[in-house]
Amino acid sequence: MLLTQGKTKGFDKLPWAQLELASDARLEEIVLHLVRWVRKRDEAFRILFPIETRDLGGVVLFYPNILIQCRDLRVLKDIRTVMGVQGVTMANESTPLEIPSSFGEQMIAKSEQVSEGWSDGIKKGSFVRILLGERRMLCGNCISVDRGIADIRISLTTRNLRVRIPVRALLKLEIPKEKRRYYYNG
């Protein structure tokens, strides 16, 4: 998953830095906190989360670190304040280790290739599980899909919820109608 902020034209030739993650942090939370950190800056960024799989067990990366790119890697010096991030991998005491742009572009291509089939088959009537956000782990019926955004109806015991969420944040569940609940425990 590649996230961008600002004018990133020409970034395909700039080096990347890598962020080391805390072992106990959930990737979904790191994404939220890192995006908030980036939005507070008037700097252009590209952040790559090299996601291999996303399923009932959560998200798995095919590379152990998150890659981040900006025009001046020195702005990353205070990124340790982001929850779940240990810090930037350093070449020496004051300089981030520069990852070649070609490696980053290969990782982007692999990420896109891996994620192509994630939302296949999700359409009106599909029973799905939400994988990201505050409604994470809840299940419901897809009532519509339009331009990559799905409307999901979740039938709880005492009320119904309606959630609008990107289709890529959903996992289609193939279970019989009589066993469908707002939670799914395998």
What is the tens place of the pLDDT at every residue in 35-90? 889 999 989 999 998 988 877 776 788 888 999 999 998 888 888 888 889 889 99
User: Does 134 share its domain with 109?
Assistant: no
Percent of the chain with pLDDT strictly greater than 70: 96
Query: How confident is the model at residue 184, as a pLDDT?
Result: 61
| 44 shares its domain with 76 | yes
- Same domain, yes or no: 52 and 93: yes
Boundary of a domain, candidates 89, 115, 141: 115
In a domain, 184, yes or no: no
68, burial (CB in 10 Å: exposed 0-12, middle 13-18, buried 19+): buried
Q: Confirm if 33 and 79 have CB atoms less than 8 A apart.
A: no
Cα(2)–Cα(53) distance, integer angstroms: 15
C-beta separation of 45 from 104 below 8 A: no
Same domain, 92 and 146: no
What is the distance of C-alpha 23 from the center of its chain? 17
Handedness of CA 60, 28, 96, 70 (dihedral sign): positive
- Ordered alpha helix ranges (H), the chain: 27-39, 101-115
pLDDT confidence of residue 186: 55
Answer whether residue 38 is part of any domain. yes
Q: Is residue 120 part of a domain?
A: no
Over range 3-18, report the average pLDDT: 92
Mean pLDDT value across the chain: 87
How many folded domains does the chain comprise? 2
Structural domain containing residue 18: 2-115
- The verdict on 144 and 166 lying in the same domain is yes
